[in-house]
Amino acid sequence: MRALLITSALVFVAPSAFAQTLFLDNATVVDANGAQSQMDIILKDGNIRQRGAEIPAPAGADTVTGAWVTPGLFASMSSLGLTDIGSTGPGNDVSSETSKTNVSERAVDSFNPRSIHIPNVRQSGVTHALVAPRSGGNSIFAGTGAIVSLTGEFDSVLKSDAFVMVDLGETGTIRAGGSRAAAMAQLRAAIYDADGFFKRYANDPTGGDVLSRQDALAFNRATRGDIPMVVRVNRAADIMRLIDIKQTSKSLDIIIVGAAEAWEVADALAKNNIRVIIDPLENLPSAFESVGARLDNVAFLEKAGVDYAIANLSSLGVTKPAALAQHAGNAVVHGLTWSQAFSAISSTPSSWFGVDDSTTVVWDGDPLEITSASISMSIDGESQAMTSRQKALRDRYNPTNPDKRQLKYR
């Protein structure tokens, strides 16, 4: 409510304030590692122009006391730009149920930077996102995912071929034909196809066991370790099978998504350098594969030395990961330090995918508190609009709007 009132006041009192010059009095500044310091800051067009102790406010600047200044947040699992609503049909590009291809399907070819969800998520402090498809048909392979910035511009794709997405667990079981054994057999055969690509497909384009020539070539980048293989999996036993594959195919760079029961095998994950994307709010079993879910799962990973990132993995959170900061805040309640939790939604996933963290976000309070809101942002030196369709509708029909026309004419 506090954030809503502040934002509403800014719209009607000083609509251009955060696009020009701000003086941040006694701001809390957070670096890439989550460390905090106090200072005064002069911000112009979203970028820091001067910082220090007891610096004077420039003439004409709007003053904000007690703000926080941080790097931008990184949504380490999303379907941003692939769909606006959860319906089936041509408006939803998250998966392809009847396609004859799988690994070679690139999320970037479906990505729409003008999706309605992108400004909604950006105004929550998120500057970058991983964009992942979901598997379809009879394949455990969802396709090749991308890394994007949330500027909303057509040049916002940073990496078109960033990782290969795989579904194991219960989803992979369904895709592969009805058992985990079938899903694991498909994965092992696909690794064999991709590893031997330049020999197996040289004279016979249909020479693979489970992958076409086109898909084996796309998967070959992951089996060589050039890009990660990101795998959705939750059950501890399934994670151990994946570790077995990692020990056999040592060049694989595996990132697990979900990992509801990862706390049971945290030491094995750390030993085998397998990274994890986890949702700290996953505490109740949504399926048989997550009966061991617990709120302090991420604390076990931290203690074991596992490299992890925090995401919002609910169906709505993947479509629109706007509540990312609050999920990190929940992890603080259950065992992480503030710095550890913030790094898990910023510098850690950014480093995984080689994203240069040249971003600045100004908040009206602690970003991990649910009542805080972002009020200014820059990406690569460019000030970003902190507006969205929802805000435009709110402002149009707000009772305090000075426009006296009938609502239907506004």
The per-residue pLDDT for range 317-333, each reduced to its tens digit, is 899 999 999 999 999 99
* pLDDT tens, residue by residue, 223-271: 999 999 999 999 999 999 999 999 999 999 999 999 999 999 999 999 9
From CA 149, how far away is CA 379, in angstroms rounded? 8
Which residue in 4, 7, 2 sits closest to 386, CA to CA? 7
Alpha-carbon distances of 273 from 29, 112, 264, 267, 310, rounded to whole Å: 32, 34, 16, 10, 17
| Residue 13 confidence class, pLDDT cut points 50, 70, 90 | very low
Q: Is the pLDDT of residue 285 over 90?
A: no
pLDDT tens-place string over residues 374-404: 999 999 989 998 888 888 888 888 989 898 8
Domains and CATH numbers, the chain: 2-70+381-409 (2.30.40), 73-356 (3.20.20.140)
- 90's CB contacts (< 8 A; 6+ apart) are none
Least confident of 43-47, 51-55, 345-349: 43-47
* Residue 47 pLDDT exceeds 60: yes
C-alpha neighbours within 13 Å on the C-beta side of residue 280: 28
What was the pLDDT predicted at 324? 95
- Residue 11: per-residue pLDDT: 40
Reply yes or no on whether the pLDDT at 316 is more than 80: yes
Mean pLDDT computed over 101-125: 95
pLDDT at residue number 112: 96
Q: What is the mean pLDDT of residues 175-187?
A: 96
Q: Grade residue 198 by pLDDT with cuts at 50, 70 and 90.
A: confident
d(CA 15, CA 26): 23
The SS3 of residue 174 is: helix
**Cα–Cα separations (whole angstroms), residue 355 to 48, 258, 298:** 20, 22, 24
Do 158 and 355 contact (CB within 8 A), yes or no? Answer: yes
Question: pTM of the predicted model, to two decimals?
Answer: 0.91
Helix (H) / strand (E) containing 13: helix 2-13
Confidence of residue 361 (pLDDT cuts 50, 70, 90): very high
Q: What pLDDT sits at residue 393?
A: 87
Distances (CA, A) of 310 to 49, 227, 340, 342: 31, 20, 10, 9
Does 12 score more than 60 pLDDT? Answer: no
Give pLDDT tens digits for 84-95: 887 667 778 999
> What confidence category does residue 8 fall into, taking pLDDT thresholds of 50, 70 and 90?
very low
Say whether pLDDT at 15 is over 70. Answer: no
Nearest partner of 245 among 328, 253, 31, 64, judged by Cα: 253
Task: Report residue 199 as tokens.
Answer: 């020999």
| pLDDT at residue 365 greater than cutoff 70 | yes
pLDDT at res. 256: 98
Nearest to 164 by CA among 194, 185, 189: 194
